[in-house]
């Protein structure tokens, strides 16, 4: 059953977030815009449209972020491959285009925040909701900009409508000020009306609509922001606020989170995701479909011929790959953290997969089938590590979460883009509580995530093992604070593989008190892996701790400095 999106959003999302100040002034003067409830709704839909933009969640979020991390890489000659091998520049469009797209969204949000309060509504709470949505989206867009581009000098904070050249070029503010504004906006969105009802709904009816922001999403992003800042008490509190709201529940079968036909049901676990759908009437680049099924899947089809994306031949691009060492870490339980029984070889006999964490087989392709583009005839079966056999073998993995057999074209598939799930809240609590020295509570939080993984597809497994000693089937030892921190890092790596969280974790987390996780992985962990398990195309480098600010922005705005290495 497919979700429905916010009324009017379908029409406005095709406009490229273009509520430009000149257009606003012209329409307001000539046509009376920002005068009615319908105008306000159209305006907030314009702010939402940024979420679906080609330069954001539709394509660039999924095509670029994996090329910055340690566990994935991109092949070929296109821009993602140049990012992967660290030969990109501040002129590489998919890398820098987030900047303009997100600031357009912020500009539109500022118009709503400034102009909607003067509009008369039948219900003040309806007006308050639209304003709160604008605050939420302004916070989200600043948050992503800060994480992508603000690592050294911060980013410009834009919270007033652009009225002319005098306030068009805003200088960078330091990270502390940027996060202060982000928190303030999310807190406003999470606040209450005069009658003590939430400005945003607790959650949406998943059978009717998705894509609009909620009170739960505001608290969830506050939890993630506080985690990023190392404000452990605040992070744990906000995550618990979402958990205790009882608005979200785990989907019993982890695989059903990614079943294209069950996306509406999976909304019980998704706190915030960007919904996409098959939009057959629009051009591929402008459609409201997503690109991720084409980007992540192999250049073949499912064994037996079932398609994987809307590609004309039903194939994926085969460009975004997973490092063998990453899959092997879980497949062979190399960290002795209870992910599998490493003595059991399940590479051919799939009945033995019960000895492995279910998320491994759901997340990573094991085999696919070649298909002739001209005749449509199915060809050889290709196995992908950790599977073996077949007619040929590939060492580098593929993410298998995002499949749409009924997609329209490469860039028009129905797979949603997840941003925050209930698992995030438990893993945020686990990380924060560990840093606070509350080991027992931290174990209880991470074990909630593992409990769902053990349920598999209905036949419960003994893997992953629990961490807490209060659970009977546990790993059999107590972890140090540093060991637990590493556990959370890798648990997040498996639980959220392919969901574009890994690079952010590498940047914000520490391996120990003196070493950033990115530096530890780059300088110590990866060099310790067998050479055959590391694809050298995936380059980690000091400058890949930051995204380059667009050349054009640096050249025309004296208040913006380029990040190191660009």
- As a whole number of Å, the end-to-end CA separation of the chain is 46
Question: Would the CATH topology of 35-199+546-553 be identical to that of 242-272+415-523?
Answer: yes
The SS3 call for residue 509 is coil
The phi and psi torsions of 483 (rounded to 5 degrees) equal: -65, -40
Report the half-sphere exposure of 543 (CA within 13 A, side-chain side): 15
Q: Calculate the CA dihedral of residues 335, 336, 337, 341 and round it to 10 degrees.
A: 120
Tell me the C-alpha to C-alpha distance, in Å, between residue 304 and each of 308, 373, 453: 12, 16, 27
pLDDT digits (tens, 9 = 90+) for 68-105: 999 999 987 788 999 999 999 999 988 999 999 999 99
pLDDT digits (tens, 9 = 90+) for 433-473: 999 999 999 999 999 999 999 999 999 999 999 999 999 99
Tell me the C-alpha to C-alpha distance, in Å, between residue 51 and each of 41, 168, 273, 286, 367: 16, 23, 10, 13, 33
Mean pLDDT of 269-278: 94
pLDDT digits (tens, 9 = 90+) for 500-543: 999 999 999 999 999 999 999 999 999 999 999 999 888 999 99
Mean pLDDT of 487-491: 98
pLDDT digits (tens, 9 = 90+) for 378-415: 999 999 999 999 889 999 999 999 999 999 999 999 99
**Residues in the chain, how many?**
566
Name which residue leads in pLDDT, 31 or 359.
359
Mean pLDDT of 248-270: 93
Q: Are strands 72-74 and 320-322 parallel, antiparallel or unpaired?
A: antiparallel
* Token digits of residue 477: 């030892």
Give residue 328's Cα distance to chain centre. 23
At 252, which helix (H) or strand (E)? none
Cis peptide before 386 (omega within 30 of 0): yes
**Residues 6+ away with beta carbon under 8 Å from 321:** 72, 73, 74, 75, 396, 397, 398, 535
Q: What does CATH list as the number for 242-272+415-523?
A: 1.25.40.390
Mean pLDDT of 133-138: 98
- The domain spans of the chain are 35-199+546-553, 242-272+415-523, 291-406
pLDDT at 18 over 60: no
For the chain, the average pLDDT equals 92
Tokens 């916010």 label which residue? 6
Predicted pLDDT of residue 79: 87
- Asked which of 201-210, 316-325, 360-369, 551-560 is least confident by mean pLDDT, the reply is 201-210
Cβ count within 10 A of residue 194: 8
Predicted pLDDT of residue 13: 37
Banded model confidence at residue 229, pLDDT cuts 50, 70, 90: very high
343 near 403, Cβ under 8 Å?
no
Cβ count within 10 A of residue 512: 12
Cis peptide before 464 (omega within 30 of 0): yes
pLDDT at 217 over 80: yes
Predicted pLDDT of residue 410: 94
Q: What does CATH list as the number for 35-199+546-553?
A: 1.25.40.390
How many Å apart are CA 177 and CA 90, to the nearest integer? Answer: 25
pLDDT digits (tens, 9 = 90+) for 158-177: 999 988 887 889 999 999 99
Sign of CA dihedral 259, 263, 267, 271: positive
How many Å apart are CA 403 and CA 350, to the nearest integer? Answer: 21
């Amino acid at each position: 059953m497919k979700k429905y999106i916010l009324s009017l959003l379908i029409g406005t999302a095709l406009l490229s977030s273009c509520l430009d100040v000149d257009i606003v002034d012209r329409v307001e003067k000539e046509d009376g815009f920002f005068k009615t409830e319908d105008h306000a709704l159209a305006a907030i839909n314009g702010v939402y449209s940024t979420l679906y933009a080609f330069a954001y969640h539709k394509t660039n979020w999924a095509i670029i972020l994996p090329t910055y991390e340690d566990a994935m890489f991109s092949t070929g000659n296109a821009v993602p491959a140049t990012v992967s091998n660290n030969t990109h520049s501040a002129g590489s469009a998919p890398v820098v285009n987030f900047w303009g797209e997100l600031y357009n969204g912020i500009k539109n949000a500022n118009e709503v925040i400034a102009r909607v309060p003067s509009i008369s509504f039948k219900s003040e709470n309806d007006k308050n909701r639209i304003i709160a949505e604008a605050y939420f989206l302004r916070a989200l867009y600043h948050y992503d900009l800060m994480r992508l581009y603000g690592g050294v000098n911060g980013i410009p904070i834009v919270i007033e409508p652009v009225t002319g050249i005098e306030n068009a070029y805003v200088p960078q503010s330091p990270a502390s000020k940027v996060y202060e504004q982000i928190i303030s906006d999310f807190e406003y969105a999470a606040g209450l009306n005069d009658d003590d009802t939430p400005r945003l709904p607790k959650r949406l009816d998943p059978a009717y609509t998705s894509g609009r922001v909620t009170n739960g999403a505001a608290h969830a992003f506050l939890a993630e922001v506080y985690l990023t800042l190392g404000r452990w008490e605040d992070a744990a509190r906000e995550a618990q606020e979402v958990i205790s709201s009882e608005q979200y529940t785990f989907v019993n079968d982890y695989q059903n989170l990614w079943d294209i036909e069950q996306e509406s049901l999976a909304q019980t676990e998704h706190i915030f995701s960007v919904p996409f759908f098959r939009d057959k009437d629009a051009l591929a680049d402008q459609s409201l479909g997503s690109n991720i099924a084409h980007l992540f899947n192999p250049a073949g089809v499912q064994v037996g011929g079932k398609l994987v994306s809307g590609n004309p031949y039903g194939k994926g691009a085969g460009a975004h790959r997973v490092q063998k060492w990453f899959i092997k870490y879980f497949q062979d339980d190399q960290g002795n953290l209870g992910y599998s029984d490493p003595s059991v070889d399940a590479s051919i006999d799939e009945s033995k997969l019960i000895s492995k964490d279910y998320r491994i087989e759901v997340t990573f392709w094991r085999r696919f089938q070649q298909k002739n583009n001209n005749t449509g005839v199915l060809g050889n079966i290709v196995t992908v590590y950790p599977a073996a056999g077949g007619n040929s073998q590939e060492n580098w993995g593929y993410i298998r979460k995002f499949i749409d057999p009924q997609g329209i074209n490469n860039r028009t598939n129905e797979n949603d883009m997840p941003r925050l799930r209930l698992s995030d809240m438990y893993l945020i609590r686990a990380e924060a509580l560990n840093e606070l020295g509350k080991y027992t509570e931290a174990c209880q939080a991470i074990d909630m995530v593992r409990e769902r993984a053990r349920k598999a597809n209905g036949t419960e497994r003994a893997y992953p093992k629990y961490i807490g000693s209060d659970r009977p089937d546990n790993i059999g030892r107590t972890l140090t604070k540093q060991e637990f921190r590493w556990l959370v890092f890798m648990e997040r790596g498996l639980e959220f593989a392919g969901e574009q969280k890994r690079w952010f974790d590498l940047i914000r987390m520490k391996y120990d008190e003196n070493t950033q996780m990115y530096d530890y992985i780059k300088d110590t962990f990866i060099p310790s892996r067998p050479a055959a398990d590391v694809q050298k195309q995936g380059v980690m480098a000091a400058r890949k701790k930051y995204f380059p600010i667009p050349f054009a922005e640096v050249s025309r705005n004296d208040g913006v400095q380029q990040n190191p290495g660009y």
